[in-house]
Chain A
Amino acid sequence: AGLASPRPGCAAMSSGGTLSILRSDSYAELSQYRDQHFRGTRYDQERLLRKSCTLYVGNLSFYTTEEQIHELFGKSGDIKKVIMGLDKVKKTACGFCFVEYYARGDAENAMRYINGTRLDDRIIRTDWDAGFKEGRQYGRGRSGGQVRDEYRQDYDAGRGGYGKTVQCQ
Chain B
Amino acid sequence: MSRRRHSDDSDAGQPHKRRRTSEPSEIEERLESLICRVGEKSNSSLESNLEGLAGVLEADLPNYKSKILRILCTVARLLPEKLTVYTTLVGLLNARNYNFGGEFVEAMIRQLKECLKVNMYNEAVHLVRFLSDLVNCHVIAAPSMVAMFENFVSVTQEEDVPQVRCDWYIFAFLSSLPWVGKELYEKKDAEMDRLLSQTESYLKRRQKIHVPMLQVWTADKPHPQEEYLDCLWSQIQKLKKDRWQERHILRPYLAFDSVLCEALQHNLPPFTPPPHTEDSVYPMPRVIFRMFDYTDDPEGPVMPGSHSVERFVIEENLHCIIKSHWKERKTCAAQLLSYPGNNKIPLNYHIVEVIFAELFQLPSPPHIEVMYTTLLIELCKLQPGSLPQVLAQATEMLYMRLDTMNTTCVDRFINWFSHHLSNFQFRWSWEDWSDCLTQDLEKPKPKFVREVLEKCMRLSYHQRIIDIVPASFSVLSPANPVCVYKYGDESNRSLPGYTVALCLTIAIKNKASNDEIFSILKDVPNPNQDDDDGEGFTFNPLKIEVFVQTLLHLAAKSFSHSFSALAKFHEVFKTLAESDEGKLHVLRVVYEVWKNHPQMIAVLVDKMIRTQIVDCAAVANWIFSSELAHDFTRFYIWEILHSTIRKMNKHVLKIHKELEETKARLARQHKR
Closest to B331 in A: A24
Flag whether B163 is at the interface (Cβ < 8 A). no
Flag whether A4 is at the interface (Cβ < 8 A). yes
Give Cα A21 to B38, complex, Å: 13
Interface digits, A16-32 against B, CB 8 Å rule (1 contact, 0 not)? 01111110111110000
- Knowing A70-B603, A113-B371, the reply to whether A19 touches B79 (Cβ < 8 A) is yes
- Knowing A1-B119, A9-B66, A70-B603, the reply to whether A75 touches B559 (Cβ < 8 A) is no
Contact B422 A118 (CB under 8 A): yes
The interface residues of chain A lying within 8 Å CB-to-CB of B261 are none
Interface residues of A in 36-94 (CB under 8 A from B): 65-68, 70-72, 75-76, 78, 81-84
Give Cα A47 to B374, complex, Å: 29
Cross-chain pairs A/B with CB under 8 angstroms, 8 sampled: A13-B111, A68-B460, A71-B455, A71-B599, A112-B374, A113-B371, A117-B374, A118-B423
Give Cα A87 to B29, complex, Å: 49
Contact B107 A27 (CB under 8 A): no
The interface residues of chain A lying within 8 Å CB-to-CB of B400 are none
Number of A-B contacts (CB under 8 A): 125
Flag whether A167 is at the interface (Cβ < 8 A). no
Flag whether A130 is at the interface (Cβ < 8 A). no
Contact B327 A65 (CB under 8 A): no
The interface residues of chain B lying within 8 Å CB-to-CB of A119 are 422, 459
Contact B559 A117 (CB under 8 A): no
Flag whether A107 is at the interface (Cβ < 8 A). no
Interface residues of A in 100-126 (CB under 8 A from B): 109, 112-114, 117-121
Flag whether B103 is at the interface (Cβ < 8 A). yes
Give Cα A17 to B374, complex, Å: 29
- Closest Cβ of chain B to A8, distance in Å, is 9
Contact A19 B75 (CB under 8 A): yes
Contact B74 A112 (CB under 8 A): no
- Closest Cβ of chain A to B259, distance in Å, is 25
- Knowing A109-B368, A118-B423, the reply to whether A3 touches B118 (Cβ < 8 A) is yes
Give Cα A70 to B422, complex, Å: 15
- Closest Cβ of chain B to A110, distance in Å, is 8
Interface residues of B in 74-131 (CB under 8 A from A): 74-75, 77-79, 103, 107, 110-111, 114, 118-120
Flag whether B319 is at the interface (Cβ < 8 A). no
Contact A4 B114 (CB under 8 A): yes
- Knowing A11-B103, A68-B458, A84-B560, the reply to whether A27 touches B329 (Cβ < 8 A) is yes
Contact B369 A19 (CB under 8 A): no
Contact A67 B458 (CB under 8 A): yes
Q: Give me 14 other A-B pairs in contact (C-beta within 8 A), A13-B114, A24-B327 excluded.
A: A3-B114, A3-B118, A11-B70, A11-B73, A11-B110, A12-B107, A12-B110, A24-B328, A27-B328, A68-B458, A75-B419, A78-B646, A109-B371, A114-B370
Partner of A112, one of B65, B327, B377, B603: B327
Interface residues on B, range: 35 or more
Question: Contact residues of A with B, CB < 8 Å?
Answer: 1-4, 6, 9-14, 17-22, 24-28, 65-68, 70-72, 75-76, 78, 81-84, 109, 112-114, 117-121
Chain B at the A interface: mostly helix, strand, loop or mixed?
helix
Contact B328 A17 (CB under 8 A): no
Contact B368 A113 (CB under 8 A): yes
The interface residues of chain A lying within 8 Å CB-to-CB of B73 are 11, 13
Contact B370 A18 (CB under 8 A): no
The interface residues of chain B lying within 8 Å CB-to-CB of A1 are 118-120
Which one of A9, A11, A26 has the highest number of Cβ atoms from chain B below 10 Å of its Cβ?
Answer: A11
Closest to A1 in B: B118
Give Cα A21 to B78, complex, Å: 11
Give Cα A28 to B233, complex, Å: 42
The interface residues of chain B lying within 8 Å CB-to-CB of A117 are 374, 377, 423
- Knowing A11-B107, A24-B327, A113-B373, the reply to whether A19 touches B74 (Cβ < 8 A) is yes
- Closest Cβ of chain B to A20, distance in Å, is 6
The interface residues of chain B lying within 8 Å CB-to-CB of A20 are 29, 32-33, 36
Question: Contact residues of B with A, CB < 8 Å?
Answer: 29, 32-33, 36, 65-66, 69-71, 73-75, 77-79, 103, 107, 110-111, 114, 118-120, 324-325, 327-329, 331, 368-371, 373-374, 377, 415, 419, 422-423, 425, 455, 458-461, 558-560, 563, 599-600, 603, 606, 643, 646-647
Partner of B559, one of A12, A67, A113: A67
Give Cα A20 to B29, complex, Å: 9
- Knowing A25-B328, A75-B419, the reply to whether A66 touches B560 (Cβ < 8 A) is yes
The interface residues of chain A lying within 8 Å CB-to-CB of B324 are 22
- Knowing A24-B327, A70-B559, the reply to whether A18 touches B78 (Cβ < 8 A) is yes
Partner of A75, one of B69, B370, B643, B647: B370
The interface residues of chain B lying within 8 Å CB-to-CB of A6 are 70
- Closest Cβ of chain A to B76, distance in Å, is 11
The interface residues of chain B lying within 8 Å CB-to-CB of A18 are 74, 78
- Knowing A3-B118, A66-B558, A68-B459, the reply to whether A76 touches B370 (Cβ < 8 A) is yes
Give Cα A97 to B192, complex, Å: 64
Partner of B78, one of A19, A66, A84, A121: A19
Contact A67 B329 (CB under 8 A): no
Contact B328 A26 (CB under 8 A): yes
Give Cα A72 to B66, complex, Å: 48
Contact B370 A120 (CB under 8 A): no
Contact A19 B423 (CB under 8 A): no
Closest to A14 in B: B70
Contact A112 B329 (CB under 8 A): yes
- Closest Cβ of chain A to B153, distance in Å, is 26
The interface residues of chain B lying within 8 Å CB-to-CB of A28 are 327
Closest to B279 in A: A1
Closest 10 CB pairs of A and B: A11-B69, A1-B118, A71-B458, A75-B370, A113-B374, A11-B107, A118-B423, A113-B370, A25-B327, A11-B66
The interface residues of chain B lying within 8 Å CB-to-CB of A25 are 327-328
The interface residues of chain B lying within 8 Å CB-to-CB of A112 are 327, 329, 371, 374
The interface residues of chain B lying within 8 Å CB-to-CB of A66 are 558-560
Contact A71 B459 (CB under 8 A): yes
The interface residues of chain A lying within 8 Å CB-to-CB of B119 are 1
The interface residues of chain A lying within 8 Å CB-to-CB of B559 are 66-67, 70, 82
Give Cα A114 to B369, complex, Å: 12
Contact B118 A2 (CB under 8 A): yes
Partner of A27, one of B120, B327, B459: B327
The interface residues of chain B lying within 8 Å CB-to-CB of A68 are 458-461
Give Cα A121 to B427, complex, Å: 12
Closest to B328 in A: A24
Closest to A68 in B: B459
- Knowing A11-B70, A20-B32, A21-B36, the reply to whether A121 touches B458 (Cβ < 8 A) is no
Give Cα A14 to B77, complex, Å: 12
- Knowing A11-B66, A12-B110, A19-B75, the reply to whether A109 touches B36 (Cβ < 8 A) is no
- Closest Cβ of chain B to A115, distance in Å, is 9
Give Cα A113 to B606, complex, Å: 24
- Closest Cβ of chain B to A103, distance in Å, is 9
The interface residues of chain A lying within 8 Å CB-to-CB of B368 are 76, 109, 113
The interface residues of chain B lying within 8 Å CB-to-CB of A70 are 559, 599, 603
The interface residues of chain A lying within 8 Å CB-to-CB of B422 are 72, 118-119
- Knowing A24-B328, A68-B458, A71-B458, the reply to whether A17 touches B70 (Cβ < 8 A) is yes
- Closest Cβ of chain B to A152, distance in Å, is 23
Partner of B370, one of A10, A65, A109, A121: A109
- Closest Cβ of chain A to B648, distance in Å, is 13
Contact A65 B558 (CB under 8 A): yes
